[in-house]
Amino acid sequence: MNGTKLEILYEDNHLIFVTKPSGILSQSDGSGAEDMLSLISDYLAERDRKPGKAFVGLIHRLDRNVGGAMVFAKNSKGASRASEDLRSGFFYKGYIAVSSGALDRAAGESGFLVNRLKKDTVNNRVFESRDGKDCRLYFKHLAVCRGAEGHEKHYYLAVPVTGRAHQIRAQFALAGAPLIGDNKYGQFSRDRGSDPLTAAGAASDRNIGLWSIAISVRRAVDRSERIWAFSLPCGAAFENANGALPEELYAFSGSDELMEILESIKGENDSGEV
């Protein structure tokens, strides 16, 4: 195994939920860099004394610079059932998004951002276009505090109703609140002032203010039951001036309110990266 230690959130015979650290790939890109698929396969093979690599199925992805809860399959049944949930809207996921300013379009403390985004495959980014795909994103403001550099941080729950590539990052930037450390989409809102983390170069791809806080699928065998897994954010982008997470995040993670919000958000959830 490589040096990264796995944080297992939940495991049964068919599925394994883990925390993906930011900076690690979801699956190999051929560069030799660490990836979650290989880490989990090596871990299971060593733990269960299996020859070679253990089967691990990729269900969904997170961008390399996004950390948090992910689910992987341990066998073909788990892969098939979890993928079915992903296609049919029974795959629930929520993120903590941290921005250096409040959303301009926010009508109150919660609501939806709606844009049409088109993918630029050459530069691996999305932009707003009349020819783009409809993107709908639920947000809820959770907290505001001062960061270590003295700048203001706003913490949001972000739930993609559609699962387009880079959707959360692009929609927050287009709404005037680019995520902290997001060098790719921060330029959408230059008039908001500089993000100290990005400007200082401290927020590399490993420090973007986006984290998968919750994920849920139905059990592979008893489809009437649901599995929930939660992961608190980790990294400088999420910390207040005291180097800690805001108390509101501890109270919100795993709460009935969070689960109720995710259960209420219906619509398309495809396998696009955030």
Mean pLDDT per block of 10 residues along the chain (274 residues) reads: 82 97 92 94 94 92 94 97 93 95 72 91 86 92 86 94 88 92 72 40 60 97 96 94 94 96 71 52
Q: Among candidates 92, 78, 81, which has minimal Cα distance to 14?
A: 78
227 within some domain: yes
231 within some domain: yes
CA distance 243 to 263: 32
pLDDT value, residue 271 = 46
Phi, psi of 4 (to 5 degrees): -75, 130
212, 234 Cβ separation under 8 angstroms: no
pLDDT value, residue 273 = 56
17 within some domain: yes
271 within some domain: no
Q: What is the number of domains present in the chain?
A: 1
In terms of residue numbers, what domain contains 186? Answer: 7-264
124 within some domain: yes
Report the 10 Å Cβ neighbour count for 127: 17
pLDDT value, residue 4 = 77
Cα first-last separation, the chain: 28
272 within some domain: no
pLDDT value, residue 187 = 60
Q: pTM for the complete prediction? A: 0.88
pLDDT value, residue 193 = 41
CATH of the domain at 19: 3.30.2350.10
CA distance 248 to 255: 11
270 within some domain: no
